[in-house]
């Protein structure tokens, strides 16, 4: 069966953001155009980040979201020092929420993002429901 790899940024049991991969079956459609099941969404936003952009540590908002890199390169930094780069045409699913009953601590929770290279970063955020 044909599959799609969904890269997920999530909050682990220790409260720290990590990456993992999940396989989504593409079992619908035809051999010429294999499709996944239809997933609901809650809207989308486009973002332009200029050269030099870097956020502070933060968690994903209330709704998890797909992040698609449309132009440029995006870095995602984790508390453990991991820096993962995504370039135009790549994606990840951002779901690193603040643990229930936790108060945000920038030394423990979340991730930061940045623009990498000479081109501005253009991203598409598609919220889940």
CB 77 within 8 A of CB 111: yes
May I ask the CATH architecture of the domain 3-127?
Answer: Sandwich (2.60)
Instruction: Pull the structure tokens for residue 111.
Output: 């991730």
Domain residue ranges in the chain: 3-127
**Rounded-to-integer distance, Cα 67 and Cα 76, Å:** 11
Q: What is the pLDDT of residues 79-127, one digit of tens each?
A: 999 999 999 999 999 999 999 999 999 999 999 999 999 999 999 999 9
Name the pLDDT band for 129 (thresholds 50, 70, 90): confident
Neighbour order of strands in the sheet with 111-116: 83-87, 73-78, 111-116
pLDDT tens, residue by residue, 32-87: 999 999 999 999 999 999 999 999 999 999 899 999 999 999 999 999 999 999 99
pTM, whole model, 2 decimals? 0.93
Beta strands 33-35 and 28-30, pairing class: antiparallel
């Amino acid at each position: 069966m044909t599959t799609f790899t969904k890269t997920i940024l999530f909050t682990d049991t220790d409260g720290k953001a990590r990456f993992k991969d999940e396989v989504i079956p593409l079992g619908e459609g035809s051999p010429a155009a294999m499709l996944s099941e239809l997933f609901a969404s809650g809207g989308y936003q486009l973002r332009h980040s200029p050269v030099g952009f870097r956020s502070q540590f933060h968690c994903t908002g209330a709704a998890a979201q797909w992040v698609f890199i449309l132009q440029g390169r995006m870095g995602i930094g984790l508390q453990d020092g991991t820096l993962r780069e995504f370039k135009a045409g790549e994606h990840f699913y951002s779901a690193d929420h603040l643990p229930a009953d936790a108060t945000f601590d920038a030394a423990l929770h979340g991730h930061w993002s940045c623009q990498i290279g000479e081109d501005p970063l253009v991203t598409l955020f598609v919220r889940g429901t």
